[in-house]
Amino acid sequence: MGRALEMSKKSMAMAEAKDRDGWLGLFADDAVVEDPVGPSLFDPDGKGQRGKEALTAFYDNVISQSESLKFTIRQSIECGDEVANIGEIRITLPGNQVGIVQIANIYKVNAEGKLASLRSFWEQDKLEFTPG
């Protein structure tokens, strides 16, 4: 298993465990998270969350708002210092509202082995929440 795949698994596990400090600690100081890639409610300009302060705000305002997250990865493709994970994420919000969306997450590690970027491809219009 390459370093990018290892770090991607740690990132998903920390997000599922709601381990804020652990998740943030995986990223380089100048890391970029695009979740989703392109303009969104979380990132109207579509330029991504850049640096630890922005990643911390993203965690606090997005990831932490769910009651639970569950990644199911069907395939991982490793190339050099990157990995693409294909699967789905199940998000449960307060009030047992559940949404499932297909994802393609691309993680890149830097020379120090920290996450340099996370680019999450998912179709915003396909994420609908229904009673769980």
Inform me whether the pLDDT recorded for 75 exceeds 90. Answer: yes
* 32: β partners: 50, 117
Q: What percent of the chain has pLDDT over 70?
A: 100
Residue 1: per-residue pLDDT: 84
Q: What's the CA gap between 79 and 83, in Å, rounded? A: 6
Could you name the CATH architecture of 3-123?
Answer: Roll (3.10)
Which H or E element spans position 21?
Answer: helix 20-25
Average pLDDT over residues 74-102: 97
CB 65 within 8 A of CB 93: yes
* Residue-wise pLDDT tens digits, 14-27: 999 999 999 999 99
Residue indicated by tokens 């997450």: 105
Q: How confident is the model at residue 47 (pLDDT cuts 50, 70, 90)?
A: very high
